[in-house]
Amino acid sequence: MYAIVGAAARSMASGRISHAWDLRGPCATVDAACSSGTLAVHLARQSLRTGECDTALAGGVSLVLGTDHTVGYSAAGMLSAAGRCRFADENADGFIRSDGAGVLVLKRLDQARADGDTIHAVILGSAQASKGRTAKAIIAPSAEGYLQVITRACANAGIAPEQVGYVEAHGNAAPTGDTIELQAIGTAIGTRRAQGQPCLVGSVKTNIGHPEAAGGLAGLIKTALVLRHRSVPASLHCSQPTSSVDWTGLGIAPVRDQLAWPHPGTAIAGVSTYGLSGIFVHILLGEPPLDS
C-alpha cells in the first residue's frame, strides 16, 4: 500500500495534496494526455462558478523518468531529429520531451479583488471537446475538433472570435498537426479579423520543449503574462514559416520576434491544447483589470 499511495496510483497525486493542505473542496486527478493541465483549469473554473469552492488550485506535471514513451514516440517518428520544437516552420520535424510543472491559483474575480490579490489575467471562457471519429487515427487531431472547441469557448465567453488577437497554440511542431491547427485557428478567428490585423500565433514549446501534461499550463502562464504586460515573446526556430498554410488568406501570423501587443482595444487571447486521447481544450483569457 505504501507504494500504491506514494506513486503507483495516479489518483493519489491530487489526494495527497488535499491531505497535506487540508483542502476540502473538489479533488481529482485529470488525465487527458497533453490537455491534462488545461482541462484541470476548465474543471476548476466550473467548480468556482457553481460555488463548490472559493479558491481552486489547478496544475499539471510531467517528469520524464523512464524510456518507454520516448522509445514509442521515436519509433513513430514523432520526435525531432534536430532536437528543436520548430512550430510553424517549413522544416518542423516533431517535438522534444521535457519536464515541467505548473500550478495556478484561481478565484472568482470579485473574490480576488476583495482579497487584494494580484490578478494576472481573467478567464473569460473555456471549453473541452472530443474529436470523436473525425480523424483517421485516435491520436491524430482534426480541424473539426479545433473548430468545435474554439467556437464553444467563444460562445461560453460571450465574445466574437474576431476579438481574439493572439492564440497560444498547442504547436508541438508535428508538421501535419501544426498545419491542421493553424488552418483551424485561421478559419475560426483569423479570417474574421480586420484586414491588416492578423491573429498572432505562437508556442511556448519552441522555448522549453514539450512538457506534455504540463504543456498547456506553461502556455497558459505565458499567455497570462502576455496580456498582463501587453508584450508577445518570440516563438523560436521559425526561420521559414511553413508553406502548407496560407498565412495571409487565413489572417494569421507567426510571432518570430518579440513585439508589443499590436492590436487596439482590450487584449484577448486563446490557449489551445490537444491530447493524444483525442481531447481538445480551449481557454480564453482577457487582460487584468486596471486596478489589479
- The catalytic site residues sit at 34, 170, 210
Number of Cα atoms under 13 Å in the Cβ half of residue 254: 28
Query: What are the backbone angles phi and psi of residue 194, rounded to the nearest 5°?
Result: -65, 145
Say which DSSP state 287 is in. Answer: P
Map grid coordinates 503507483 to a residue: 8
Say which DSSP state 22 is in. Answer: T
Residues in CB range of 16: below 8 A, 6 or more apart: 5
Residue 15: in which H helix or E strand, if any? helix 11-21
Map grid coordinates 490579490 to a residue: 117
Map grid coordinates 506535471 to a residue: 61
Map grid coordinates 487584468 to a residue: 288
